[in-house]
Amino acid sequence: MLAILFFMRRMVGTIDVHEVSCAELSEEIKHEITIHPDIMVYSVEGPLFFGAISSFERVLNCIHKDPKFLIIRFNQVPFVDLTGIRILSSIIGELQRRGIVVLLSEVKYDIRVEMYKTDFLDVLGHHHMWRKFESALHKAERDLRKTNGN
């Protein structure tokens, strides 16, 4: 029992949620990238499970500037449990009520399968999950141009 509690405590400390800068993205993609000020990009690193989801929730609920689009990168998330999916769904619903369109990118296959088994996509939107970050970014930029009339 103590080993399980120690493991959970250690796993809670492994999650990191942070805003990704243009410089970080440019370095990763290997070419200069600029992101429109109405688009924010966050990266999640670590497992999203019932013990660690509070860190994720706290960071996303503290976004003070409401962008029009929020892209959440999941490329460093090894797994998400059912509680994590439910809380993520709740967070996304709250962001949407604030008028923010949420796009997920780079969600691993096993996690996508678990999300498909729940009503998660009904909340997120069926066309808001992208396999590549660049595709999610292009979607946000395209929709932003449409709403701005360009």
For residue 69, the surrounding DSSP H or E stretch is: strand 69-76
Is residue 73 situated within a structural domain? yes
Supply the pLDDT for residue 128. 95
Stated pTM of the model? 0.82
Domain that holds residue 54: 34-148
Is residue 3 situated within a structural domain? no
Q: What is the mean pLDDT of residues 43-55?
A: 70
- If you average pLDDT over each of 17-31, 59-73, 107-121, which comes out highest? 107-121
Is residue 7 situated within a structural domain? no
82-135: pLDDT as tens digits: 888 988 898 889 889 989 999 999 999 999 999 999 989 999 998 999 999 999
pLDDT at 8 over 60: no
* Residues 22, 33 contacting (CB under 8 angstroms): yes
Is residue 124 situated within a structural domain? yes
Is residue 25 situated within a structural domain? no
Instruction: Indicate the number of domains in the chain.
Output: 1
